[in-house]
């Protein structure tokens, strides 16, 4: 067993949409359990969100930034500043070392945003543990970046560097779907072949893993992992497609230009430019539409819109900086459809009385292409392992986007003999990472 001088250990699920942290459970006499840290009062998970107040002096940026629900609440309440989410999605991209404006003529590197958020997770965990935590297991998707091994390695290296910068001295990585399998394994009484579907905010990851009582607690599980596969599609992509399908048409997306004078009756006119709408629906690009030059360009395009209301709503959105509010409305609509079968989207922030509806069939149609790619990735995982669909005992679903029933049903249809098991959508990966950390570092 490592000596206390080596510091304690922690497991971190740094997610695209939400994050969670697990610590060893000292109360367990057998030294086998883990517990989730309350990252915010009453909550074992915390939104992966950071808010910079516009009036914060540069020397106090670290101390006064807000995290998680407090960050989102500050934005929703209209506090002047900059909200950033989905920071995980920029690992491995050229954006990582670029600076972004946070108001008041100040900028911050995206890399430093990631580091600051990890530091917050570490501080909260250390406060609960009552000791320094210098060793960590970090979760990672099967692919940070699809089909680009060099950028994928770059993404892990960036996360490693951030973890080292906040004070972790010994760091291990584990695939997130394998961590979910370890969480499931803690409940089984016989050997099973499990296909884990971990579908969160940024990636849809699959692992085919053998689990069972005889395998439980091993530090080395390489031989139990038959295949890993994944695609860089998940909840934030669904949000973007939902916004394009249900919200942005009210702002002119895919609307037609007015016919020029003398045009033949019934002649189909070209659509208004679409790039502004794609940027409005992509979280980390929303701030780019607020640049003065771009706002001026959009203002000059009023005559391009056959329906003046569309242009007026678009200008209200960019001039009042409502892009993130629309993105949040799309995310909530996706959640409402998953839980209630439909959603009513209040857009009165753009125009008094404006609203949009979203039905489950419409949401499913909007994300159909992405759904099929995710389903194909699940089937490909079994093929990579040389396993027939009928040999899979359990489909284990975790991650926030597995609340979308059509997605779960489509995956399950490919493995009709497997039992469906739903883990905790937001914390099973962290719990599994904690179990792996116990196996790696000891009790």
Question: Last residue of some domain: 326, 344, 366?
Answer: 366
Same domain, 13 and 135: yes
DSSP string, 91-141: TTSGGGGSEEEEETTEEEEHHHHHHHHHHHHHHHHHHHHTS-EEEEEEEE-
Mean pLDDT is highest, among 11-25, 50-64, 113-127, 135-149, for: 113-127
Tell me if 409 is assigned to some domain. no
Same domain, 293 and 158: no
Tell me if 411 is assigned to some domain. no
Same domain, 148 and 16: yes
Per-residue pLDDT, 27: 46
Sign of CA dihedral 224, 229, 234, 236: positive
Same domain, 286 and 178: no
DSSP string, 156-198: HHHHHHHHHHTT-SEEEEEEHHHHHHHHHHTT-SS-EEEEEEE
Tell me if 226 is assigned to some domain. no
SS3 of 308-338: the string is HHHHHHHHHHHHCCCHHHHHHHHHHHHHHHH
Element (H, E) at 47: strand 45-47
Per-residue pLDDT, 63: 55
Same domain, 8 and 132: yes
Site of tokens 């290296």: 157
Per-residue pLDDT, 60: 60
Same domain, 100 and 249: no
Choose the weakest-confidence range: 51-55, 64-68, 189-193: 51-55
> Using 50, 70 and 90 to split pLDDT, how confident is the model at 6?
low
- Structure token digits, residue 330: 């799309």
Other C-beta atoms closer than 10 Å to the C-beta of 215 total: 16
Tell me, what CATH number does 111's domain have?
3.30.420.40
- Structure token digits, residue 244: 């394009």
Residue 350 structural domain? 236-366
Read off the pLDDT of residues 239-288 as tens digits, 9 standing for 90 and up: 999 999 999 999 999 999 998 888 888 888 999 999 999 999 987 788 88
Same domain, 317 and 184: no
Same domain, 68 and 171: yes
Other C-beta atoms closer than 10 Å to the C-beta of 133 total: 20
Same domain, 182 and 298: no
Read off the pLDDT of residues 109-154 as tens digits, 9 standing for 90 and up: 999 999 999 999 999 999 999 999 999 999 998 888 877 889 999 9
Element (H, E) at 412: helix 405-413
Strand partners, 103: 106
Per-residue pLDDT, 394: 96
Per-residue pLDDT, 4: 42
Average pLDDT over residues 28-41: 75
Strand partners, 136: 10, 171
Per-residue pLDDT, 50: 94
Tell me if 429 is assigned to some domain. yes
Same domain, 345 and 436: no
Read off the pLDDT of residues 71-91 as tens digits, 9 standing for 90 and up: 988 887 778 888 888 888 889
Phi and psi angles of residue 170, each rounded to the nearest 5 degrees, phi first? -130, 120
Element (H, E) at 383: helix 368-385
Average pLDDT over residues 156-171: 96
- Residue 1 pLDDT greater than 50, yes or no: no
Question: Last residue of some domain: 317, 349, 366?
Answer: 366
Tell me if 212 is assigned to some domain. no
Tell me if 387 is assigned to some domain. no
Strand partners, 199: 204
Same domain, 354 and 243: yes
Q: Distance (Å, rounded) from C-alpha 307 to C-alpha 312?
A: 9
Per-residue pLDDT, 363: 87
Tell me if 229 is assigned to some domain. no
How many structural domains compose the chain? 2
Per-residue pLDDT, 156: 94
Per-residue pLDDT, 360: 85
- Structure token digits, residue 206: 């699959």
- Residue 195 pLDDT greater than 80, yes or no: yes
Strand partners, 193: 210
Percent of the chain whose pLDDT exceeds 70: 94
> Using 50, 70 and 90 to split pLDDT, how confident is the model at 30?
very low
Average pLDDT over residues 387-399: 94
Tell me if 200 is assigned to some domain. no
Residues 6+ apart with CB under 8 A from 39: 19, 20, 21, 45, 46, 68, 121, 124
Distance of CA 341 to the CA centre of its chain: 22
- Residue 315 pLDDT greater than 50, yes or no: yes
Per-residue pLDDT, 200: 84
Q: Which has more confidence, 329 or 54?
A: 329
Residues 6+ apart with CB under 8 A from 409: none
Question: Last residue of some domain: 366, 390, 414?
Answer: 366
Per-residue pLDDT, 285: 83
Per-residue pLDDT, 2: 40
Same domain, 181 and 36: yes
The mean of the pLDDT values for the chain is 89
């Amino acid at each position: 067993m490592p000596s206390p001088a080596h510091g304690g250990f922690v497991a971190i699920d740094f997610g695209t949409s939400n994050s969670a942290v697990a610590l060893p459970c000292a109360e367990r006499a057998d030294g086998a359990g883990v517990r989730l840290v309350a990252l915010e009062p009453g909550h074992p998970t915390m939104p992966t969100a950071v808010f910079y107040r516009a009036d914060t002096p540069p020397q106090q940026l670290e101390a006064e930034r807000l995290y998680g629900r407090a960050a989102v609440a500050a934005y929703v309440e209209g506090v002047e500043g900059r909200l950033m989410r989905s920071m995980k999605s920029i690992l491995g991209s050229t954006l990582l070392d670029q600076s972004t404006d946070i108001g008041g003529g100040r900028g911050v590197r995206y890399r430093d945003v990631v580091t600051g958020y990890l530091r917050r997770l570490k501080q909260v965990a250390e406060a609960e543990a009552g000791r320094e935590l210098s060793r960590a297991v970090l979760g990672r998707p099967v692919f940070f970046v699809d089909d680009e091994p060099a950028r994928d390695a770059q993404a892990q290296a960036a996360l490693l560097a951030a973890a080292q910068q906040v004070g972790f001295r010994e760091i291990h990585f584990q695939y997130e779907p394998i961590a979910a399998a370890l969480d499931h394994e803690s409940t089984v009484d016989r050997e099973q072949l499990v296909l884990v579907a971990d579908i969160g905010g940024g990636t849809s990851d699959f692992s085919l893993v053998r689990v069972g009582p005889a395998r439980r607690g091993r530090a080395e599980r390489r031989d139990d992992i038959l295949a890993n596969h994944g695609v860089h599609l998940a909840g934030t992509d669904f949000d973007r497609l939902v916004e394009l399908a249900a919200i942005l048409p009210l702002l002119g997306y895919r609307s037609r230009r007015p016919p020029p004078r003398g045009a033949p009756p019934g002649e189909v006119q070209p659509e208004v430019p679409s790039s502004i709408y794609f940027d409005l629906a992509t979280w980390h690009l929303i701030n780019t539409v607020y640049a003065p030059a771009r706002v001026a360009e959009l203002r000059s395009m009023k005559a391009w819109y056959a329906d003046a209301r569309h242009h007026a709503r678009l200008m209200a959105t960019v001039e009042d900086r409502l892009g993130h509010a629309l993105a949040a409305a799309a995310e909530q609509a996706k959640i409402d459809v998953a839980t209630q079968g439909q959603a009513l989207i209040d857009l009165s922030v753009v125009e008094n009385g404006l609203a949009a509806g979203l039905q489950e069939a419409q949401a499913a149609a909007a994300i159909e292409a992405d759904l099929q790619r995710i389903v194909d990735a699940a089937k490909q995982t079994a093929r990579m392992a040389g396993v027939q669909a009928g040999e899979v005992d359990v489909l284990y679903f975790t991650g926030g986007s597995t609340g979308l029933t059509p997605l779960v049903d489509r995956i399950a249809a490919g493995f009709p003999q497997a039992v469906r098991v739903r883990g905790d959508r937001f914390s099973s990966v962290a719990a599994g990472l904690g179990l792996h950390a116990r196996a790696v570092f000891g009790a």
